[in-house]
Structure formats: C-alpha cells, structure tokens
Structure 1
C-alpha cells in the first residue's frame, strides 16, 4: 500500500512516499533552496550563441539560464517552412522572452530553460508555443484513444500543444473544455502580467510540494496521506472531492514530528550515508561527483550456500534493486556507473539489466539503461531536473573541500620544511611556527631527534606552538631575533 507523509508545518517542507512502509521517494524543499522547475519568468536575452544554436537568458538568478533554439516558440512556428535556420533569425540580444525552468542550476551549470510554457494537471497538459497533440498510451480502449485525439485536435489552436492523460479516459467533452479554458486563462493572465513588468522578473511560482502530492495521488487509485498542516489538508480534501480520488487523507496534530511518528525519520537519516547495506549482507558504496556517480557493489558478509557464480548473481540481483531505489530516493541524476561483481555468464548480465529496467519503470524521471561495458560496469542515465538530496542537505567539508580526504602529517611537515629552507639565507636568528602536533612529530622526528639538523639547515632556532584539532596544518607566525621571538612566543 502506498503512503504519503507530508511534513509541512515548518519552513522546510518534506514529503515522503512509502510503499509497504519502505521509503521510496523524498522531496525536501528548504526555503533557501526551493526548486525553480516549473516557475515562469520574464527573461532577457544576454547573449546569442550561433555555434550552439542557443542563447543565455537573464531571468533573475545568480547564473544565466540556457535556452536552445528548439525551445523557442518562433522557431517551432517557422520550422515547417524555414527548415532549420540560424538562431539569430528567431531571437536577438536584449529581447524579452517568457521562459520556464525545466532543470535547476547544478554545480557550475545554470538552469535549463524553455520558451514553450507548460501547465500540467492530472488530466490535461497544456503547452503554449508548439503545435502538438498527444494522448496517453495507457488508455485501455483504442476507440477512446482515437476519440480524445480528435477532440484535442478539434479544440486546440495553432500555437498550442495538448496532451490528454489517462485520467481523462472516463471524463466527458465538457470537462475537457472546462479544463482547457482554465489553462488558457492562466497563460493569458501571465502574458498580461508580463506586459506591465520589466525583465527579469518572476511571473508564476509553482507550488512544488502540492503538485507532487497531487501527482502521486493521481498516479495511484488509492492510498493513505498524513499531513500536519491544516490549511493544506483542507485544500487537498477539496481537490480530492473534485477529482474523485479514493485516498484516505488525515490531518495529524500534536507536538511530535510527523516523520518520527510514522517511522520515516530514521530512514531519512540513512540517505546521505556512503554505504548502504543489503538484506543478504552485501553492500553498496556511493561516490557522487559533479560529472557522474559511481556505485560499487560488494558481497560483504554474504557467502551463499551454492556455487560461486550463483552466489555472486544473488548479490548483484539484490544490489540492482536497491541501487535503483536509492537513485530515485537520493534523486541522483546524470551519468551513473554501477560496478557489479563480475559474473562469468552473459545471461546473468542480461538479467541484471532487466531488473534495473523493471525497477526503473516506476521512476517518474526518464531512466536509460545503456548496458555493460567491457569492464563489466553497467551504464545508466537518469534525467536531471534538480539537485540531488545530497546536494540539498550537505555542503562541502571545509577541511577536505568535499574530497573526503585531508593531507597527511608527512605531506604537511615536509612542505613546512621546504618553506623554512627558503628563508635559510635571511639574517633572522629564529622563527616561530604554529603547528598541529601530528605535523610537529613528523617535522622534528622521534624524541625531536631531527631538531638540531633542521635548525642547522635553516640557520635559525625553531620555536613551535601547537594548535588543537585533527587538521594537519601549520602557520609561520614570525621571523626575528631570538629575544624578539621569545617575547612574542610567551
């Protein structure tokens, strides 16, 4: 059974999706890191890039957004007759454009934008700026599928795209027109607002957590939703009645954290851990980088009771299922490399591919399974629209700068020695260095046996003071006469 737990009472909004009480998806929306995907802005073209058939758009964010020629309405309208003319024929520098964010800023990359403005409901998707009609392939009745395509073609305008979703299957034409009119009015209202404002400016902000909740409820016939915000609870109850969703919605009041009450908090706390244990004793190691993510599969404590090949295959089967769950849960996107334990039989590799594809089918983001490389590493891609949970919940370590490693005492000590040797020909008699104890131990040797040699090499008396902490570091505080350093040292 599917459950949703919505923790909306505090400034940071969290929505968890559970299946059989196992966390499958988590959306975290801190007030300072709210996703901009779906937001609509009045932007200004800052640079045209003919070589990339794209433009940069100032839409009010720290980094300018990227807009490809194919996402510009004027290109979509002209391409049937003009073919693929240079982007300069469709947009110019300094021009104002309505744009919508399709992918958030990530790392050094700015947001990805589109000029094809889209509004999505559980039954109908409206896209302004493109001539297109689509009908869900999940319709059970071919005649009904054809009927809705003809209905959409009948009522759409030349610059509109419509996608009829599965939940429209049992509705009538009047409801279709009512929802289409509502979405058209929403777009016209944004156009009117844009006409009176200067770029860049925000015109429409998507209510992301509400959209997510409604989308989950629309995708499953029934389920259970617990929510701790009474105003949102009332809004969802009203929406549920209007859209006839058979979900049990309850408002949870009280002082206890709703995630703790529903045993979700403990599962959330494990999400940023590097190692994920499997039920059979194997484990996964996650390494996220800006370029790609690597998942290493290890047999761990699992020894099995059958032949080696079958044992390794069993670990890989469990790892494939858990890896896909973790990708969705952690919102890991881009290029993903899964290093499964090497198997001798090619049919086992194919079965692992089939498991990954099957488990990925429930992911709302597009997942492509490329296949195994010659080195036995499975290549997977997952569409990126927003930062991963790890990026949202953590910051790079100020000590290791996100590498997970710091310099050894030996490395730092020998660097200090080289720095001191550079001053060996100055007239100063002494030097004061502030240093961590581990670095000092290496610099001076066991029982400070190397001190006399070092002082002779640098032609100075060495005064050391110590800093606390686990960071291997040093700071040359001062050069001077022995008397000057002794006074400062005290």
Structure 2
C-alpha cells in the first residue's frame, strides 16, 4: 500500500513516498533551492544564437535561461515542413516573451525554458502556442478515445494544444468545456498581467509541494497521507473529496518530527552515503559528476551457494532493482553508467536490461536504457528536470573543492621544501612557517631528524607554528633575523 508522509511545517519541505514501508521517492525542497519548474515568467531576450537555433532569456534568475527555436509559439504555428527556418525570423534581441521553466538550473547551466505555456489538471492539459491534440493511450475504450480526440479537435483554437488524460474518459463534454474554459482564462489572465509589468517578472508560481502530493494521489486509487501542516491538510482533503479519491488523510500535530514518527528519517539519512548495501550482502558505490554518474556494483559479503556465474548474476539482479530505486530517490539524471559485475552469458546481460526497464516504468522521469558496452558497462539516461538530491542538499568541500581528495602531507611538505630552497641565498637568518602537523612531520623527519640537514641546506633556522585541523597546508609567515623571528614566538 502506498503511503505519503508530508513534512511541510518547517521551512525545508519534505515529502516521502513509501510502499510497504520502503522509501520509494523523496522530495526535499530547501527554501533557497526551491524548484522553479512550472513557474511562468515575463522574460526578455538578451542574446540570439543563430548557430544553435536558440536564445538566452533574462527571466530574473541568476543565470539566463535557454530557449530553443522549437519552443517558440511563432515557430510552432508557422513552421515549414523542413523545419529549417532561422530563429531570427521568430524572435529578436530585446523582445519580451512569456516563458515557463521546464528544467531547473543545474551546475553551470541555466534553466531550460519553453514559450509553449502549459497548464495541467488531472483530466486535461492545456498548451498555448502549438496546434496539437493528444489523447491518453491508457483509455480502455478505443471508441471513447477516438470520440475524445474529435471533441478536442472541435473545440480547440488553432493556437492551442490539448492533451486529454485518462480520468476524462468517462466524463461529460460539459465537464470538458468547463475545464477548457477555466484553463483558457488562466492563460488570458497571464497575458493581461504581463502587459502591465516590466521584464523580468514572475507571473505564476507553481505550488510544488501540493502539486507533487496531488500528482502522487492521482496515480493511485487508494493510499494514506500523513501531513503536519494544517492549511495544506484542509486543501488536500478538499481535493480528495472533489475528485472522489479513496485516500485516507490525517493531520499530525505535536512536537515530534513526523519523519521520525513514521520511521522515515533513518532511511533518508542513508541516502547521503556513497555506498548502498544490498540485502544479499553486495553493495553499490555512487559517484556523481556534472557530466555523468557512475555506479559500481560489488559482490561484497555475498559468496553464494552455487557456481560463480549464478552467484554474480544474483548480485547483479538485486543491484539492478536497487539502482532503479536509488536513481528515483536521489533524483540522479543525465548520463548514467552502471558497472555490473562481469557476466559471461549474454542472456544474463539481457535479463539485467529487462529488469532495469521494468523498474523504470515506475519512474515518472523518462528513462532510456541503451545497453551494455564492450567493456560490460550498462549505459542509460534519465531525463533531467531538476537538481539531484546531492546538488540540493550539499555544497562542494572547501578543502578538496568537491573532488573528494586532498593533497598528501608528503606532496605539501616537498612543495614547501622547494619554496624554502628558493630563498637559500638571501641574507635572512631565519624563517617562520605556519604548517599543519602532518606536513611538519614529513618536512622535518621522524623526531625532527632531518631538521639540521634542511636548515643547513636553506641556510636558515626554521621556526614552526601549527595550523589546527586536518588540512595539509602551510604558509610562510616571515623571513628575518633569529632575534626578530624568535621575538614573534615569545
């Protein structure tokens, strides 16, 4: 049974989705990193890029957004069959445009934008700026599917796109028209509002927390929701009643953390770790970079009771299922490379691919499984629309700059030695160096056995003071006479 735990009472919003007590999805939204996907802005074209068929848009964020020609209404409504018209025919620098965010800023890249403004309800999606009609493929009745396509074509305007969702299948045409009219009025209201504002301006802000919860409830007939924010509880209870859902909703009050109360906090804490243990004793190692993510599969403590190939295949089977779960939990997107334990039989590789594809069906992000390379690495992609969990909740280490490694004491000590040697011919009698203890131990040797030789080599007496902490570093503070440097230590 699906359960949702919504921790909305504090500034950092968190929503957890569990199935049979196991965490399947987690959304963490710090206030300073709140997703802007779905937000609508009045933006201004700052630069036209003919070579990329795109423009940069100032929509009020730190980085300008990226808008491709294919996402511009004037192109969609007048494009020729070859689709090769230059972007300069449809937009110019300095022009104001309504834009919607489809992918958040990630790393050094600005947000991805569209000029095809979209409003969604559970039963109907309205897109302004494109001539299109789509009907859900999940309709059980083919005749009704055809009927709804004809109905949508009949009532839409030439500059409108409509997608009829599954929940509209058994509704009446009057309900369809009411919802279509409401969505049209939303868009018209935006245009009126934009006419009175300067660019850049925020026109519509999506309520990401409630939208995410409603989206989860829409996809399942029944479930349980526990929430610690009373206003959100009232709004969601009203939605459940209006949409005739069988979800049970409860408001949790009190001082205890709702995630702790529902035994979710411990599962959340594990997601910050690079290593993920499998139930059979194998484990995964996650390495995220800006370009791609590498996942290494290891047999660990699992030895198995059958032949080697079967043992390795069993580890890989468990790993394939857990990888799919972790990608969704950690919101890892882009290019993903999985280094499964090498298998000799090609049918086993194909079965691993099928497991990943089957698990990917549960993911709301589009996943494409490419296949195994000659080196036995499975290639796949997951559509990126927002930063990963690690990007949302961590910052680069100020010591290692995000590499996960720092220079060894030996490397730093020998660099200091070379720098001191550059001053060996100066008239100064002494030098004061501030240094970390580990670097000092290498520089002067065990029990400072190398100190006499080094001082003779640089022709100076060495005075040391120590930098606290684990960083391997040094700083040459001062050169001077022995008396001058000595007084600094008194």
CA–CA distance in structure 2, aligned partners of residues 12 and 480 of structure 1 = 54
Alignment of 1:48-67 (within 5 A): 48-67=48-67
Deviation at 1:86, TM superposition (A): 0.4
Counterpart residue number, 1:199: 199
In structure 1, stretches of 5+ residues that fail to align are none
CA–CA distance in structure 2, aligned partners of residues 447 and 248 of structure 1 = 70
Residue 230 of structure 1 pairs with residue 196 of structure 2: no
Residue 142 of structure 1 pairs with residue 138 of structure 2: no
Counterpart residue number, 2:469: 469
Counterpart residue number, 1:486: 486
Residue 426 of structure 1 pairs with residue 445 of structure 2: no
Counterpart residue number, 2:101: 101
CA–CA distance in structure 1, aligned partners of residues 49 and 384 of structure 2 = 23
In structure 2, stretches of 5+ residues that fail to align are none
CA–CA distance in structure 2, aligned partners of residues 100 and 424 of structure 1 = 64
Residue 354 of structure 1 pairs with residue 329 of structure 2: no
Alignment of 1:300-449 (within 5 A): 300-449=300-449
CA–CA distance in structure 1, aligned partners of residues 62 and 424 of structure 2 = 48
Question: Is contact 1:367–1:382 with CA below 8 Å preserved after alignment?
Answer: yes
TM-aligned CA distance change 1:387 to 1:61, over 3 Å? same
CA–CA distance in structure 1, aligned partners of residues 170 and 282 of structure 2 = 47
Deviation at 1:245, TM superposition (A): 1.0
Deviation at 1:336, TM superposition (A): 0.4
Using the TM superposition, name which of 317-326 and 462-471 deviates more: 462-471
Counterpart residue number, 1:44: 44
Residue 265 of structure 1 pairs with residue 265 of structure 2: yes
TM-score, with normalisation over the residues of structure 1? 0.99
Q: CA-to-partner distance for each residue in 1:325-384, whole Å, 9 max, x for gaps?
A: 000000000000000000000000000000000000010000000000000000010000
CA–CA distance in structure 1, aligned partners of residues 81 and 334 of structure 2 = 35
CA–CA distance in structure 2, aligned partners of residues 16 and 447 of structure 1 = 55
Using the TM superposition, name which of 311-320 and 475-484 deviates more: 475-484
Question: Is contact 1:431–1:480 with CA below 8 Å preserved after alignment?
Answer: yes
Using the TM superposition, name which of 456-465 and 103-112 deviates more: 456-465
Q: CA-to-partner distance for each residue in 1:246-298, whole Å, 9 max, x for gaps?
A: 11111111111111111111100111101000000000000000010000000
Counterpart residue number, 1:15: 15
Counterpart residue number, 1:127: 127
Using the TM superposition, name which of 464-473 and 335-344 deviates more: 464-473
Q: CA-to-partner distance for each residue in 1:167-210, whole Å, 9 max, x for gaps?
A: 11121111111111111111111111000000001000000011
CA–CA distance in structure 2, aligned partners of residues 406 and 165 of structure 1 = 53
Deviation at 1:397, TM superposition (A): 1.2
| Matched position secondary structure for 1:206 | coil
CA–CA distance in structure 2, aligned partners of residues 299 and 3 of structure 1 = 32
Q: CA-to-partner distance for each residue in 1:85-109, whole Å, 9 max, x for gaps?
A: 1000000000000000000000000
Using the TM superposition, name which of 41-50 and 447-456 deviates more: 447-456
Question: Is contact 1:296–1:338 with CA below 8 Å preserved after alignment?
Answer: yes
CA–CA distance in structure 2, aligned partners of residues 95 and 82 of structure 1 = 26
Instruction: Return structure 1 stretches of 4+ with deviation > 2 angstroms.
Output: 80-84
| Matched position secondary structure for 1:67 | strand
Residue 253 of structure 1 pairs with residue 256 of structure 2: no
CA–CA distance in structure 2, aligned partners of residues 372 and 245 of structure 1 = 43
| Matched position secondary structure for 1:32 | helix
TM-aligned CA distance change 1:82 to 1:333, over 3 Å? closer
CA–CA distance in structure 1, aligned partners of residues 61 and 422 of structure 2 = 46
Question: Is contact 1:432–1:489 with CA below 8 Å preserved after alignment?
Answer: no
Deviation at 1:80, TM superposition (A): 3.8
Deviation at 1:84, TM superposition (A): 2.4
Residue 79 of structure 1 pairs with residue 64 of structure 2: no
| Matched position secondary structure for 1:240 | helix
Residue 190 of structure 1 pairs with residue 190 of structure 2: yes
Deviation at 1:81, TM superposition (A): 6.8
| Matched position secondary structure for 1:88 | helix
CA–CA distance in structure 2, aligned partners of residues 367 and 477 of structure 1 = 55
TM-score, with normalisation over the residues of structure 2? 0.99
Counterpart residue number, 1:218: 218
CA–CA distance in structure 2, aligned partners of residues 170 and 38 of structure 1 = 28
CA–CA distance in structure 2, aligned partners of residues 186 and 23 of structure 1 = 36
CA–CA distance in structure 2, aligned partners of residues 420 and 381 of structure 1 = 51
Deviation at 1:468, TM superposition (A): 2.0
Counterpart residue number, 1:176: 176
CA–CA distance in structure 2, aligned partners of residues 83 and 101 of structure 1 = 24
